[in-house]
Structure 1
């Protein structure tokens, strides 16, 4: 019995000793870790970094020395600034991108700066992503270097990465600390990324859906894609495949592709065919599309066709009034706006007719 108690006590001692020597209490770091992410088009770009504070210190040329420096530790004798604290800052691109006009492949990179006097700096993206700071920086592992100009900024006590000037194809990533900002221009070929993704998926189950081919053709049409390729895709949606079906949507898309290619006679014929297949909302939208294209004859034709099909709908008369207003036919514009108002239209249609009548001095 005593031996069993002794064994139990020794076992507890060794377990406690083992836990004490391996377990560590997690405590907050002085420079908290953060991640900022921005989607540009369909491309996610994220930066993971640690955020030191200014804490009254003289930053540039002092705490952060200019140039490449021997930090007195590690293997690097000429190291850049780690662009943060603790582990080296990293940036991840979900797709290929352009940084300051230079191509960078999709992936994760260490992010450093060589800070220089006179508002100059060099951005360095490195294949090293697991280092502590820049103590082991090796220029042979650089993936990209780009010179930038720093700018003045409102005071940021904590080092901050932020995105601004965001468009579907570009953004500016800035490191801001103290009163200095390090802006970096990033761009992506969103159209190519979207269409390459479609082509990669189109040989699988994704490609067995007619609507996906229509969507890809429309995207290429509206975003500077290859029109010949778009025409092939929309033709496949219309006929020739087991999923093909001619409808208003794909005929209208094909017509717009042909128009953009300069094949105007084919465009006109197909637009009329699409109009014959359209429901009330589609035909109305088609009329406005013709107004935007300044093809007023077709706009008038489509709106009148909608009124003939749906004589009880005040929106049809309101839309025809807009057509005549754009044509400069004030008399007919007033006539059809007033006709719309006489039919107790919905609030949005009433407001539109009244607005145009006021503009025409008829209300």
Structure 2
């Protein structure tokens, strides 16, 4: 009986040790969080590798025309914190399961209201949104599947999927412009120089209202304590308004302030602007 108990104990210890073995995942998980404007976009997925296999074909990893989970292991999740437009179609804030159907000329991406469980549970459901985008052949192959955001601007980005020599890019637009303008008006009812600068920066970068951008930035630069990068923004706005003489004067002031601050980059940028406007 004692031998039997000892054997059971050793067997239990053996299984306990075995259960603690940790191995690297063939398709490691990744989570990416990206700001697009004021919206947070989050991707959660696993990354399979080709490992000598073909992406398409008789023995390929994927079959054209068949819906798949877009990755390996668990369902791909994409989350948006605010209203967005995906492929020109509105999508409410929330978490979505992302499936896709590859074709030779294009891919269709299917967005479903996310629920825990296997990805196959979504196959018979109606997607919240479907968008079809061109299938692009790339010159260089990507060994490990990647989902990421590219071409990130103030109000837009592209959700890019790459694997092998295949790539698709889905345009994502955030709908914050009016809210930002309303916020600017609210804050500037009692603004600081930082608020004025931020408002001018946004209006200038979006080319929304350059005269108003100039009004805002000059609320900052009229002070003797204005900083070199603030005065440079004034010069850039004046340049875009074709008020070249004033732009040159602002660039010269920028250069003096930047030299005093030891910032060679803005000295160089100011010189380049002056040269461009005096040619």
Q: Give the match for residue 266 of structure 1.
A: none
Q: Give, in whole Å, the separation in 2 of the partners of 1:86 and 1:290.
A: 51
> What's the CA shift string for 1:336-357, capped at 9, x where partnerless?
xxxx9xxxx969899979x979
Map of 1:163-242 to 2, 5 A cutoff? 163-194=149-180, 210-211=190-191, 215=195, 219=199, 222=203
**1:43-58 equivalence runs, <5 A:** 43-58=39-54
SS at match of 2:125: helix
Relative to its length, the structure with more strand (as a share) is: 2
Q: How many residues align?
A: 249
Task: List per-residue Cα deviations over 1:34-88 (Å, max 9, x = no partner).
Answer: 12332222222221111111122232254212224xxxxxxxxxxx211110001
Q: Distance in 2 between matches of 1:143 and 1:350?
A: 52
Q: CA–CA distance in 2 between the matches of 1:46 and 1:63?
A: 26
Distance 1:295 1:83, change over 3 A: closer
SS, match of residue 280 in structure 1: coil
CA distance in 2, matches of 1:321, 1:28: 56
Residue in 2 aligned with 1:150? 135
Greater Rg over alpha carbons, structure: 1
**Aligned 8 A contact 2:86 2:170 in 1:** yes
Distance 1:122 1:197, change over 3 A: farther
Identify the match of residue 63 of structure 2 among 65, 71, 81.
Answer: 65
8 Å Cα contact 1:126/1:143 also seen in 2 = yes
TM-score by length of 2: 0.66
Aligned mates of 1:350, 1:87 — CA distance in 2: 52
With a CA cutoff of 8 Å and minimum separation of 6, indicate the structure with the bigger relative contact order: 2
Deviation at 1:112, TM superposition (A): 0.8
Gaps of 5+ in 1: 1-5, 69-79, 228-251, 258-270, 301-317, 324-339
How far off its partner does 1:106 sit? Answer: 1.4
Gaps of 5+ in 2: none
Aligned pair in 2 of structure 1 residues 38, 20: CA closer, same or farther (>3 Å)?
A: same
TM-score (norm 1): 0.52
Alpha carbons of structure 1 residues 65 and 190: separation in structure 2 relative to 1, 3 Å: same
Give the Cα separation in 2 of the matches to 1:109 and 1:226.
33
Distance 1:280 1:173, change over 3 A: same
